[in-house]
Homo-oligomer: A and B are copies of this chain.
């Protein structure tokens, strides 16, 4: 079966998720089911749980791999650590933080929303005020997206930890790392993150289907008393099966387990730090192209620039949805739509996952042609030239080929 709507050549997939899957991972997943109660799958799972901790940069955390998406991982993070009515501080700065807040509210928490204009980072000054005035520790958790995928804004998690420490505040720190973990610098233990989570279809470069949630010892402790109703997303069932050494309270996707194994092997072969540097390189190159085109980054401050996704603001006379549609229709290029408040105003270039320099440059050329097609006076080649100039100076030799 061909793609459902076929176009010649390879699709340039530059949405910020789901992202490109490396061929060795596709191969590893191309397999029949297996009995997950045989000795093979627990043995495989054991290596995955061990190795996935490296991606989170934790040695003390406990990972859970739910057969779900990021939305489910959010729910697991919240319901295992909190009770209905608990006060949580949550930052609203884009569509995904907004959706998480919506979930928090529907799950019955008392959500203390800290708003930022879209394009700006989390308002940590407001957080500080709240912490300072919360000597009775009514705040049970801080919820923050590390990287807001809708606007391309990366928040400073270390600063959040420092505030909590400064006020000796015991609130849990719950982090959505969906578009950051395994791509941006993320340090669960060092930054005292209590629950971190990601989805397989983001920087891990797998299909959708694994929501990976990692809990600190403090979070695990909290789960013992948290009163939120939960079954499918309950950590307790997993912990019970971890103890038995069979690992799975219900059927996992055999294919995703093998895929994750292959994906982690590739990441470790490249080196996690090199993966992060590659993302930094591609992010910087993309921003230089945007600048060369004379367009604005939706992200307002350099400190919040995201190395996994760039939201590009288009002139008012252009509908960014047209750009996305046209890119797909004429150049087999998939870009991200602007969402909610920035619908029609931005389009997004996802530059995360298993990607390299020439793929990005192909995408950027495509964006240039699309911009021209929709009537923006871009100089063809300008963005590519700017990006290439940077990449030409910063791209290392491929280690295995030296």
Chain A interfacial positions (CB closer than 8 Å to B): 1-13, 15, 17-24, 26-41, 43-44, 67-72, 75, 84, 102-103, 106-108, 199, 201, 207-209, 228-234, 249-256, 258, 261-262, 265-266, 269-270, 275, 278, 328-334, 336-337, 354-359, 361-363, 365-366, 368-369, 372-373, 379-382, 384-386, 388-389, 391-392, 395-398, 400-402
Query: A270 to chain B: which residues have CB within 8 Å?
Result: 6, 8
Query: A278 to chain B: which residues have CB within 8 Å?
Result: 8
Say how far A96's CB is from chain B's closest CB, in angstroms. Answer: 10
The 13 listed contacts between A and B (C-beta, < 8 Å) are A1-B28, A7-B356, A7-B398, A9-B20, A12-B358, A13-B33, A208-B254, A209-B256, A362-B363, A365-B365, A369-B388, A380-B389, A381-B388
Q: Is A356 in contact with B10, judged by CB distance below 8 angstroms?
A: yes
Cα A231 to Cα B102 with chains together (Å): 9
- Which one of B2, B11, B401 contacts A269 once the chains associate, using CB atoms below 8 Å? B2
Cα A57 to Cα B346 with chains together (Å): 44
Q: What residue in chain B is nearest A41 (Cβ atoms)?
A: B4
Q: Is A400 in contact with B365, judged by CB distance below 8 angstroms?
A: no
Say how far A98's CB is from chain B's closest CB, in angstroms. Answer: 13
Query: A258 to chain B: which residues have CB within 8 Å?
Result: 1, 4
Query: A33 to chain B: which residues have CB within 8 Å?
Result: 13, 18-21, 201, 207-208
- A401 and B328 contact, Cβ closer than 8 Å, known pairs A253-B207, A389-B380: yes
- A250 and B32 contact, Cβ closer than 8 Å, known pairs A27-B27, A356-B331, A391-B369: no
- Which one of B22, B209, B332, B373 contacts A253 once the chains associate, using CB atoms below 8 Å? B209
Q: Is B356 in contact with A332, judged by CB distance below 8 angstroms?
A: yes
Q: Is B1 in contact with A209, judged by CB distance below 8 angstroms?
A: no
Cα A250 to Cα B70 with chains together (Å): 8
Given A5-B38, A18-B34, A384-B384, 15 other A-B residues pairs in contact with their CB atoms under 8 A? A2-B262, A3-B23, A8-B22, A8-B266, A17-B251, A34-B334, A69-B251, A106-B231, A108-B229, A207-B253, A209-B209, A331-B395, A358-B366, A372-B392, A379-B385
- A32 and B26 contact, Cβ closer than 8 Å, known pairs A229-B108, A232-B75, A362-B358: yes
Cα A107 to Cα B278 with chains together (Å): 45
Q: Is A229 in contact with B229, judged by CB distance below 8 angstroms?
A: yes
Q: Is B67 in contact with A2, judged by CB distance below 8 angstroms?
A: no
Cα A402 to Cα B103 with chains together (Å): 37
Cα A66 to Cα B275 with chains together (Å): 32
Say how far A45's CB is from chain B's closest CB, in angstroms. Answer: 10
Say how far A361's CB is from chain B's closest CB, in angstroms. Answer: 4
Q: Is A67 in contact with B70, judged by CB distance below 8 angstroms?
A: no
Q: Is A1 in contact with B365, judged by CB distance below 8 angstroms?
A: no
Query: A22 to chain B: which residues have CB within 8 Å?
Result: 8-10
Query: A10 to chain B: which residues have CB within 8 Å?
Result: 10, 20, 22-23, 356, 359
Say how far A329's CB is from chain B's closest CB, in angstroms. Answer: 4
Q: Is A3 in contact with B358, judged by CB distance below 8 angstroms?
A: no
Query: A28 to chain B: which residues have CB within 8 Å?
Result: 1, 27
